[in-house]
Structure 1
Amino acid sequence: MSAPRPPVLPQPLPRKESTMYLLAANENPYPPLPSVAEALTEAAGRVNRYPDRSSAQLTDRLADRLGVPAGQLALGAGSVGVFQHLLQSFVREDGDEVLYAWPSFEAYPHLTDIARGVSVRVPLGPGAVHDLDAMAAAVGEHTRVVIVCNPNNPTGTTVPGADLERFLDRIPAGVLVVLDEAYREFVTDPLSADGASLLPGRPDLVVVRTFSKAYGLAGLRIGYAVAHEPVAARIRAAVVPYGVNSAAQAGAVASLDAEAELLARVEELVKERERTALALADLGLAPARSEANFLWLGLGDRAAEFGAACAEAGVAVRAFPGEGVRITIGTPEANDTALAVAAAFAPRS
């Protein structure tokens, strides 16, 4: 039997000072749809007025979309803003702990510090997946909030729904569990947990989502929490007045109106994710199984070197020195540039 044919990859593109492919922040590479851009233009003509403080139109639309009462929603300036309000509401005393896996979303330790909480980090398990048993065991008398990032940022891995339900059953009453589902729309694994479906009967569960990623509104800062009404009310009580601006509200409503078109874009990004992941696997770099709009390479000590090589080729990725590299899925041209750099880091046989 003949030896397997090595993958054919493009050569690194010459770096241009005016060209930098942005694959570091998990942004959607596509601009707003025409209908969304039109709504934003109309909103721009009204910015001399304060926005609707209650975001009533968007809240009602989200409630219809999710099949929940409006009182179960709390909005904020991106999912980060929602998390800040949430932690300010539930981390109340010195020594209160916020528990999460690590590595995970880099904002968690910062937001915990702002709330004067104590971070408890539980290492990811094999396959860069949440170690739910270890996380449950780490819950103690000072634990106030447990965060499960699903899909996890930066690894893209997900928690099976059945495993998550068993985990939730082990968490003591009064400890809030927050599912960060910023990348939920990119999930294709039918076994992955869907937080919204788990809310009934679980008063200490919160689901946080965003319009930044799949909906491509990162620059507008708009996210939301779905929770039982008493929890949602506590989050809303900490919200900064007029914190969700009028353009963000208009863009989010228009995006919900254009959801079918936007999700078609998501489907294309998922296909591009799979293509890029397969090319990396053919190189022997074996990215973690991702259900988000990015891929994780556990390069360890070579992570910083890979990041620098990508920058030299004109592509920005997110390197975590000593751990790995997160590559956002962008346009095929951008992804091919990152693949060409990756070829130089392929294991030598």
Structure 2
Amino acid sequence: MAAPVPRPAIDAVPAYRPGRPASDDALKLSSNENPFGPLPSVADAAAAELRRINRYPDAGMTRLYGALEQTSGIPADRFAAGTGSVAVLYGLLSAYCSPGDEVVYAWRSFEAYPIAVELSGATSVRVPLREDGTHDLEAMATAVTPRTKVVLVCTPNNPTGPVVRHDDLIAFLDGVPEDVVVVVDEAYVEFVRDPDAARGLDVVLEERPNVVVLRTFSKAYGLAGLRVGYLCGPAAIAEAVRKTTPPFSVTDVAQAAAVASLAAVDELAERVDAVVSERTSMLAALRAQGWSVPDSQANFVWLPLGDDALDFAAAVDPISVRAFAGEGVRVTVGDPQVNARLVEGAARWITGR
């Protein structure tokens, strides 16, 4: 019997694997969530919008774009927001890629990249990371061909953690044709403390016609459940991405929380500093145990376990970590007590090998 057949690109789309649930939220170190609950001012702003959920959201996202303009000094028409930065990426690839086009990115990197690329009908060109978990920008530049439409640069890289250096990014951009969109994915930028790290918004302000930055409110701002992310770049690219975004996709509840978060940046910075301090302690403890851990500048650490990844994840249960079979394990920086339990579990593992 005949049945509906999806377009061929769907057959190639890998399934996204969410972080494994845990019996307690505090034990969930698999999804890079912020361990802190929302600030009272942010929760109040979101709750106030619940009283008017009989109304459609502001499809133009004027309050959000206005707040982003005020805090960054970049005109509102250079932003495009969506339900998380990954949704904005989907929109960008939909706007710029067709079947037969190519998208270049480092691998391993964010698990949603190959899904987004295949859904657009384009082809992934994966460039292996260096041994230390960093981007090989020279190899990525070599991988750019006349078929390349988009290049993705994830800094800090998810799931390994290192950043791309700013000078290296500039040199890379100078060699990429101006008709290729370069996406600098800075989902974890607020956790960066390396002074030499890439500064995506600085690049945008250089008025390069093909460079955009992705940011999110899910990580440092702690709004993962409300789904708000955005792109900042040339006005023409932002407009194209806004055209691909379904109307009313970002709720007024989410927009209000994002705007309130931008107004509470000093309070949020204290929480980010606490996460960074825990990250530093975790890296030091793991290295003292003998682990070879990349220099993470995000809110997670990477254990390059190879074929032992799944066994390690089972060994530290009930703490939930993100295991990538055959590659390694990503561990979110969570509550200090849970981080300490994870480090103890890592010590038992490495001494027992």
What SS class does the counterpart of residue 155 from structure 1 fall into? coil
Distance 1:17 1:260, change over 3 A: closer
Mapping for residues 45-84 of structure 1, pairs under 5 Å: 45-84=51-90
The letter of the residue matching 1:160 is R
Please tell me the root mean square deviation across aligned C-alpha atoms, in Å.
1.4
Contact 2:90/2:116 (8 A) holds in 1: yes
Contact 2:151/2:180 (8 A) holds in 1: yes
Distance 1:17 1:173, change over 3 A: closer
Mapping for residues 64-143 of structure 1, pairs under 5 Å: 64-91=70-97, 93-143=98-148
Q: Note the C-alpha offset of 1:58.
A: 1.0
What SS class does the counterpart of residue 344 from structure 1 fall into? helix
Contiguous gaps of at least 5 residues in structure 1: 1-15
What SS class does the counterpart of residue 346 from structure 2 fall into? helix
1:29 and 1:20 mapped to 2: Cα distance? 7
Q: Which residue does the alignment assign to 2:330?
A: 326
- The percent of aligned pairs where both chains have the same amino acid is 48
Q: Which residue does the alignment assign to 2:155?
A: 150
Q: Which residue does the alignment assign to 1:279?
A: 285
Q: Which residue does the alignment assign to 1:336?
A: 340
Q: Count residues with an aligned counterpart.
A: 331
Q: Note the C-alpha offset of 1:238.
A: 0.7
Deviation sequence 1:156-192 (CA, Å, 0-9, x none): 1101100010000010120000000000000000000
The letter of the residue matching 1:331 is D
What SS class does the counterpart of residue 128 from structure 1 fall into? coil
Q: Note the C-alpha offset of 1:292.
A: 0.2
What SS class does the counterpart of residue 222 from structure 2 fall into? coil
Are 2:244 and 1:238 aligned?
Answer: yes
2:109 and 2:140 mapped to 1: Cα distance? 13
Are 2:271 and 1:265 aligned?
Answer: yes
The letter of the residue matching 2:96 is F
Q: Note the C-alpha offset of 1:347.
A: 5.3
1:19 and 1:33 mapped to 2: Cα distance? 18
1:287 and 1:139 mapped to 2: Cα distance? 30
Are 2:198 and 1:193 aligned?
Answer: yes
Q: Normalized against structure 2, the TM-score is what? A: 0.92
Q: Which residue does the alignment assign to 2:17?
A: none
Distance 1:263 1:17, change over 3 A: closer
Q: Note the C-alpha offset of 1:126.
A: 2.8
2:349 and 2:294 mapped to 1: Cα distance? 16
Contact 2:26/2:35 (8 A) holds in 1: no
Deviation sequence 1:74-132 (CA, Å, 0-9, x none): 000000110011000000x2111111000000000001111111011000013110000
Distance 1:17 1:184, change over 3 A: closer
Q: Note the C-alpha offset of 1:38.
A: 0.8
2:276 and 2:316 mapped to 1: Cα distance? 22
The letter of the residue matching 2:108 is P
Contact 1:285/1:347 (8 A) holds in 2: no
Contact 1:273/1:295 (8 A) holds in 2: yes
Q: Note the C-alpha offset of 1:348.
A: 6.8
Distance 1:158 1:19, change over 3 A: closer
1:62 and 1:185 mapped to 2: Cα distance? 15
Contiguous gaps of at least 5 residues in structure 2: 1-21
Q: Which residue does the alignment assign to 2:314?
A: 308
Decide which of 168, 183, 198 is 1:163's aligned counterpart.
168
What SS class does the counterpart of residue 325 from structure 1 fall into? strand
What SS class does the counterpart of residue 117 from structure 2 fall into? helix
Q: Note the C-alpha offset of 1:346.
A: 1.9
Distance 1:179 1:17, change over 3 A: closer
1:48 and 1:274 mapped to 2: Cα distance? 46
1:307 and 1:59 mapped to 2: Cα distance? 41
Are 2:208 and 1:202 aligned?
Answer: yes
The letter of the residue matching 2:293 is P
1:39 and 1:186 mapped to 2: Cα distance? 25
2:119 and 2:277 mapped to 1: Cα distance? 38
Q: Note the C-alpha offset of 1:201.
A: 2.9
2:119 and 2:133 mapped to 1: Cα distance? 27
Are 2:225 and 1:219 aligned?
Answer: yes
Runs of 4+ more than 6 Å apart: none
